[in-house]
A = this chain, B = another copy of it.
């Protein structure tokens, strides 16, 4: 019987050309690598649908995808089998069966991203997972700049999507918090949707504020300008992690599906 599965996957994206399948010469992609693993198990070509793309070198702790398959494995067996076929930098954290109408992209109601900045001297152990800032940053002015971005806004100034491609560039940021964590600064973004490069352009802009090269008020001016030419700051991809994708409980997992869930970790 054909079933739809929802999977939560973590990956170290540093060595990948991003989520979305690309011409092979641009390097391996996460989506292709996972599809190849699943296809090898059920011996038929199969495609998976992610909650959205992540750029080259961007990481995920909780990216979500779905796939349909008619193959006699339960969710627990699927998790083991796929992880057994994946390289060690991609790991399925959980799999569950879901309603056949569940859609990883269209049903997502929000996402959480985290951008990590390593302050002070370069650190060999975080270089793959945090932007190594050569500059001291004023966290207070960054917080003042960030405050202008919270809420519902037209984020045209801070995304790479053209207006033809994405006519509605209004999104809501529900949380933008700067957490000082030892010698790291973590920027936590939550919202109902993020366009291409949006988190990295916002972060790049706030880094300019932290360096003293922009005032917090200029962040607001840039936002209100709704001008594709205004933002030249795109923070490096390896600092960014897609932490979680949110679904309304009615669609993300049915009661039955939860019973079959194979233990999404804390």
Contact = CB atoms under 8 A, between A and B. Distances in A.
A90 interface: yes
Given A12-B127, A127-B12, A265 B90 contact: no
A11 interface: yes
A111 interface: no
Contacts of A123: 10, 91
A122 B93 CA distance: 8
Interface in A60-111: 61, 83, 88-91, 93
B91 A124 contact: yes
Interface residues of A, number: 20
A151 interface: no
Contacts of A10: 123-125
A197 B93 CA distance: 33
A59 interface: yes
Nearest to A127: B88
Contacts of A131: none
A125 B129 contact: yes
A165 interface: no
Interface of A: 10-12, 59, 61, 83, 88-91, 93, 120-125, 127, 129, 265
13 contacts: A10-B125, A12-B124, A12-B127, A59-B125, A61-B125, A83-B122, A88-B122, A88-B127, A89-B127, A90-B124, A91-B121, A91-B123, A120-B265
4 tightest Cβ-Cβ pairs between the two chains A and B: A12-B124, A121-B265, A10-B124, A91-B124
